[in-house]
């Protein structure tokens, strides 16, 4: 994990308004902070995993970042 992601996570843990802003920020805003798309996903995943769970807070990762592996689409497969 990059130092920038760690710094942002640390600040978000101690500043709830900043945490809320990060969770609601658009990818372009996070890019402006210096985060690459993969780093944005790591940051947001960590924030979501350490926050109280609310189904409505989950972003649509495909819409937000596109498919990480566009040649693999497992959405149509049954999960055993």
Phi, psi of 78 (to 5 degrees): -75, 140
Per-domain residue ranges of the chain: 3-53
pLDDT of residue 52: 72
Query: Which residues are CB-contacts of 74 (< 8 A; sequence separation ≥ 6)?
Result: none
pLDDT in tens, 1-58: 789 999 999 999 999 999 999 999 999 999 999 999 989 989 998 998 887 767 776 6
Q: Give, in order, the Cα–Cα distances in Å from 40 to each of 8, 12, 72, 74, 79.
A: 11, 14, 21, 23, 27
- The rounded distance, in Å, linking the Cα atoms of 25 and 34 is 13
Task: State the pTM of this model.
Answer: 0.64
């Amino acid at each position: 994990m990059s130092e920038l992601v760690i710094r942002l996570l640390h600040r978000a843990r101690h500043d709830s308004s900043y945490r809320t802003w990060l969770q609601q920020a658009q990818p372009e805003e996070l890019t402006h902070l210096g985060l690459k798309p993969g780093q944005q996903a790591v940051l947001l995943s960590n924030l979501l995993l350490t926050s109280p769970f609310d189904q409505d807070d989950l972003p649509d990762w495909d819409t937000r970042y596109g498919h990480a592996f566009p040649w693999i689409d497992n959405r149509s497969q049954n999960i055993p």
